[in-house]
């Protein structure tokens, strides 16, 4: 059967990409469909990382759809490129960083930092270029969790180079002050320091920069959410009612400053005894999922209360790199892929396509 452009288009539009929830046809332009050869040749470019197993699954799904449509053999070239997406209307994206993602929690002690660093490492494991900024001035944990040491070097006396750990670029106030030095700063000083840490770090070319936000919804967190150009936020909570109350405040804070919520992660959802295998919901059950339903917000997944996660983070080798085949690491990877898909369908950043308007007096 000789397929027409319309028939190819119809099949592509019938294939729902599980990563984004939209048709694969959105990733294919008419000029990417070549009907001049012995078989149709199609090039598709999706907006999220496409490691081999993910590429194979999508390719198999697409070829099966063409076969069912009676078109038969086609050549499908699947590529990926993470695009820049829109930030708050009053801000501009940081040059070189396509997407900044805030990881936040309404309160401390819910495992936000551990989730953030494993999310960053999972994104990098999928093939993305990733950086991470520790925005918790009063309790920086990135130096310990990544095992990175030393002070970020400066080649010009004005900007600094990020350190590297496990394939991602990292920076933290902890690298500049030392692990034991307290940050005795008032809110405006802390906020200014973090803005400078973001803007004066030579991040290079990044698909994603993960920002580990300070806990709570106080002055620093609110000011950062207003001044840092983020494409979306991930909310981390435990199933406990007290944690959920604070997580809701965090969610509402981002809503007020027009930052999309990429989804909710429920941490410490269940504990499985290492001796007997008994599973127990120490902090309650399903609270994060109910919150996601209540606010019509994506559910990204749940993570266990696990001793290996804690030990690995404390040792400077988080779970995703310490034990990539474990159930815990696979849970982080699944959450990362849902974040990738959520970011990919956000509105694109169009600021670079429009020239600046300059009004001159005659």
165-174, 268-277, 338-347: the lowest-pLDDT one: 268-277
Give the angle subtended at the CA of 15 by the CAs of 10 and 20, to the nearest 5°.
130
Average per-residue pLDDT in the chain? 89
Give residue 40's pLDDT: 92
Same domain for 37 and 105? no
325 in any annotated domain = yes
Of 105-114, 252-261, 302-311, 319-328, minimum mean pLDDT range: 105-114
To the question of whether residue 286 is assigned a binding role by annotation, the answer is: no
At 131 the three-state DSSP class reads strand
Report whether 110 belongs to an annotated binding site: yes
Nearest to 20 by CA among 348, 349, 347, 337: 337
* Token pair 């007997």: residue: 276
Task: Tell me what pLDDT residue 271 has.
Answer: 78
Mean pLDDT of 23-50: 94
Q: Is residue 358 in some structural domain?
A: no
Domain that holds residue 249: 100-344
Flag whether 60 is marked binding: no
Residue % of the chain over a pLDDT of 90: 63
Burial (0-12, 13-18, 19+ Cβ within 10 Å), 148: buried
Q: Where are the beta strands (DSSP E) in the chain?
A: 33-34, 41-46, 75-80, 100-104, 130-134, 163-165, 168-172, 208-212, 232-237, 261-266, 271-272, 279-280, 299-302
* Beta-strand relationship, 232-237 and 261-266: parallel
Query: Is residue 342 left, alpha or beta, with left meaning phi > 0 and alpha meaning psi from -120 to 50?
Result: alpha
Does the residue 297 lie in any domain? yes
Question: Given this model, what pLDDT does residue 181 score?
Answer: 53
Predicted confidence (pLDDT) at residue 227 exceeds the cutoff of 80: yes
Asked whether residue 140 falls in the same domain as residue 171, the answer is yes
User: Do 110 and 51 sit in the same domain of this protein?
Assistant: no
- What CATH number is associated with residue 16? 3.30.300.130
Residue 88 lies in a domain: no
Establish whether 81 is an annotated binding residue: no
* C-alpha span between 173 and 160 (Å, rounded): 12
Task: Specify whether 186 is located in the same domain as 60.
Answer: no
Q: Judge if 32 and 120 occupy the same domain.
A: no
Q: How far apart are CA 266 and CA 347, in angstroms?
A: 26
pLDDT number for residue 279: 75
In sequence order, the 6+-apart residues with CB closer than 8 A to the CB of 173 are 134, 137, 140, 183, 193, 194, 197
Please check whether residues 134 and 233 belong to one and the same domain.
Answer: yes
pTM: 0.92
**C-alpha to C-alpha distances, 239 to 45, 116, 263, nearest whole angstrom:** 38, 18, 15
Say yes or no: 233 and 144 in one domain.
yes
User: 123 pLDDT exceeds 60?
Assistant: yes
Q: Supply the pLDDT for residue 136.
A: 79
Structural domain count, the chain: 2
Q: What is the pLDDT of residue 289?
A: 85
Q: Do 224 and 315 reside in the same domain of the chain? A: yes
230-270: pLDDT as tens digits:
999 999 988 887 788 888 888 888 988 889 999 999 988 87
Which residues are CB-contacts of 171 (< 8 A; sequence separation ≥ 6)?
A: 131, 132, 133, 134, 142, 152, 160, 162, 163, 197, 201
Share of the chain above pLDDT 70, in %: 93
- Mean pLDDT, range 66-87, rounded to an integer: 94
If one counts every other C-beta atom within 10 angstroms of the C-beta of residue 192, the result is 13
- pLDDT number for residue 203: 97
Inform me whether the pLDDT recorded for 186 exceeds 90: no
Measure the CA–CA gap between 205 and 70, rounded to whole angstroms.
43
pLDDT the model gives residue 319 = 97
- For residue 1, pLDDT over 60 is answered with no
Residue 169 is assigned to a ligand binding site: no
Per the annotation, does 112 bind a ligand? yes
Rounded to whole angstroms, the Cα distance separating 220 from 91 reads: 18
Same domain, 131 and 271: yes
The pairing of strands 168-172 and 163-165 is antiparallel
H-run or E-run covering 123: helix 112-125
> pLDDT category, 223, cuts 50, 70, 90?
confident
Residue 313 sits in a domain whose CATH number is 3.40.50.300
pLDDT at 354 over 60: no
Q: Identify whether residues 180 and 131 lie together within a single domain.
A: yes
Taking alpha carbons only, the member of 199, 261, 226 closest to residue 90 is 226
Residues 238 and 134 in one domain: yes
In this structure, the answer to whether residues 106 and 38 fall within a common structural domain is no
| pLDDT confidence of residue 144 | 94
195: enclosing H helix or E strand: helix 187-199
């Amino acid at each position: 059967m000789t397929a027409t452009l319309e028939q190819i288009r119809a099949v592509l539009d019938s294939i729902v990409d599980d990563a984004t929830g939209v048709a694969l046809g959105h990733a294919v332009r008419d000029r990417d469909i070549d009907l001049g050869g012995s078989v149709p040749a199609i090039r598709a470019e999706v907006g999220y990382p496409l490691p081999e197993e993910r590429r194979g699954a999508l390719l198999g799904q697409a070829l099966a759809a063409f076969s069912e449509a009676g078109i038969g053999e086609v050549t499908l070239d699947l590529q990926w490129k993470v695009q820049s997406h829109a930030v708050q209307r009053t801000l501009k994206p940081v040059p070189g960083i396509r997407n900044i993602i805030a990881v936040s929690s309404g309160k401390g002690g819910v495992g936000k930092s551990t989730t953030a660093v494993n999310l960053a490492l999972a994104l990098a494991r999928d093939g993305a270029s990733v950086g991470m900024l520790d925005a918790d001035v009063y309790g920086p944990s990135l130096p310990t969790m990544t095992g990175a040491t030393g002070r970020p070097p400066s080649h010009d006396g004005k900007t600094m180079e990020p350190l590297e750990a496990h394939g991602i670029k990292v920076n933290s106030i902890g690298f500049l002050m030392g692990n034991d030095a307290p940050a005795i700063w008032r809110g405006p000083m802390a906020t200014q320091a973090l803005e400078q840490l973001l803007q004066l770090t030579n991040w290079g070319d990044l698909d994603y920069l993960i920002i580990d936000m300070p806990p709570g919804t106080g002055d620093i967190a609110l000011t950062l959410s207003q001044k840092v150009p983020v494409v979306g936020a991930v909310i981390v909570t435990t199933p406990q009612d007290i944690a959920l109350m604070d997580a809701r405040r965090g969610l509402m804070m981002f809503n007020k400053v027009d930052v999309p919520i990429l989804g909710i992660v429920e941490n410490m959802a269940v504990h499985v005894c290492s001796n007997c295998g008994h599973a127990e919901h120490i902090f309650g059950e399903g609270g994060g999922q109910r919150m996601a339903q209540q606010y019509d917000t994506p559910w990204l997944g749940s993570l266990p209360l696990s001793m290996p996660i804690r030990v690995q983070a404390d040792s400077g080798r988080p779970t995703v790199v310490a034990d990539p085949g474990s159930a815990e690491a696979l849970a982080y990877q699944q959450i990362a892929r849902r974040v990738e898909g959520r970011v990919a369908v956000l509105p694109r950043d169009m600021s670079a396509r429009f020239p600046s308007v300059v009004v001159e007096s005659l």
